[in-house]
């Protein structure tokens, strides 16, 4: 399916829950309302015409300092989906505010979401509701803050925590 067809399918199915769509450099992107996120992901996975069986990547971006978007929702959680059968890709995004940085989990759809969501929580502080084990993935437990946030200074030092004596 071409990107345009994928987007049309998504718009037909979810209507106004698809907040925004765009195609840039042959990448197809749809921004989904948070309430419909899991349904949209499930639709992409189960609908035979889409059949995105692989969650290639799940990450986030902090738009705090992005020109023109300083006041909008701060975080975008990005789902890169891929279909082995049809060989097409689609990117779903969901926007969340800083004071309500919670996204429903996709662990029930793809097991890999477990680790990827842990990484997003670790790096951006976006919570995943319903995640079975939302621990930090890369940083250590005692680490304070979320390093990939734009207001986390790159040169901040934190004490290294050794093994408990």
Partner 1 sequence: MSTPPPTTREFMLGEGSGTGSGQTLQVGVGPAHPAMHGIIRIITEIDGEFIRKADVEIGYLHRAFEKDCEVGGYNNAIPYTDRLNYVSPLINNFAYASAVEKLLGIEVTERCKFIRTAMAEISRICDHLTCVGASAMELGAFTVFLYMIKAREFLWELVEDVTGARLTISYGRVGGVKADLPDGFAAKVSAAFKETRGVLDEVHRLLTGNRIFLDRMVGVGALSREETIGYAITGPLLRAVGVAYDVRRAHPHWAYDRVEFEIPTQKDGDNYARYLVRMAEMEQSMRIAEQALAMMPGGPVNVDFEGRPIDPAAYVDQGKQGKTEGLLLLPIRLSPNLQGQSREALQQVNAADKRVVLPPKETAYGSIEGLMNHFMLIMEGYGIRPPKGEAYFASEGANGELGFYVISDGSDRPYRVRCRPPCLPPVAALPRMIEGEQIADLIPTFGSVNMIGGELDR
Residue 71 contacts partner 1 per CB under 8 A? no
In the region spanning residues 2 to 41, those forming contacts with partner 1, defined by CB under 8 A, are 24-25, 27, 29
Q: According to CB under 8 A, which one of 71, 87, 144, 162 is a site residue for partner 1?
A: 87
* E strand segments, the chain: 18-24, 27-32, 54-62, 75-82, 89-96, 102-104, 127-129
How many residues sit close enough to partner 1 to count as binding (CB under 8 A)?
37
Cα–Cα distance for residue pair 123/138, rounded to 1 Å: 8
Q: According to CB under 8 A, which one of 9, 61, 98, 127 is a site residue for partner 1?
A: 61
Strand-pair partners of 20 = 31
Q: Which is nearer to partner 1, 12 or 68 (CB)?
A: 68
DSSP 143: -
Name the residue with tokens 């499930």: 42
Residue 105 contacts partner 1 per CB under 8 A? no
SS3 108: coil
Element (H, E) at 53: none
Residue 154 contacts partner 1 per CB under 8 A? yes
Cα–Cα distance for residue pair 28/46, rounded to 1 Å: 19
Q: According to CB under 8 A, which one of 10, 44, 55, 77 is a site residue for partner 1?
A: 55
Cα–Cα distance for residue pair 16/31, rounded to 1 Å: 11
Stretch in the footprint of partner 1 (CB under 8 A) among 1-9, 31-39, 77-85, 98-106 = 77-85
Q: According to CB under 8 A, which one of 20, 46, 57, 129 is a site residue for partner 1?
A: 57
Residue 1 contacts partner 1 per CB under 8 A? no
Spatial neighbors of 90 by CB under 8 A, at least 6 apart, are 3, 6, 28, 29, 30, 44, 50, 52, 81
Sites of contact with partner 1 (CB under 8 A): 24-25, 27, 29, 53-57, 59, 61-62, 65-67, 78, 80, 84, 87, 89, 91, 110-112, 114-116, 123, 136-140, 147-148, 152, 154
């Amino acid at each position: 399916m071409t990107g345009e067809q994928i987007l049309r399918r998504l718009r037909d199915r979810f209507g106004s829950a698809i907040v925004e769509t765009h195609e840039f450099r042959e990448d197809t992107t749809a921004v989904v309302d948070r309430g419909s996120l899991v349904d949209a992901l499930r639709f992409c996975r189960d609908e035979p015409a889409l059949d995105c069986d692989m969650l290639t990547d799940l990450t986030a971006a902090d738009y705090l300092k992005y020109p023109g978007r300083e006041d909008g929702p701060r975080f975008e959680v990005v789902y890169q989906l891929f279909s082995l059968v049809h060989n097409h890709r689609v990117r779903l995004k969901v926007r969340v505010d800083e004071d309500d940085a919670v996204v429903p989990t996709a662990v029930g759809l793809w097991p890999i979401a477990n680790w990827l969501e842990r990484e997003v929580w670790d790096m951006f502080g976006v919570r995943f509701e319903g995640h079975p084990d939302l621990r930090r993935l890369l940083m250590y437990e005692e680490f304070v803050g979320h390093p990939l946030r734009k207001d986390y200074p790159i040169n901040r030092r934190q004490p290294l925590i050794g093994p408990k004596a």
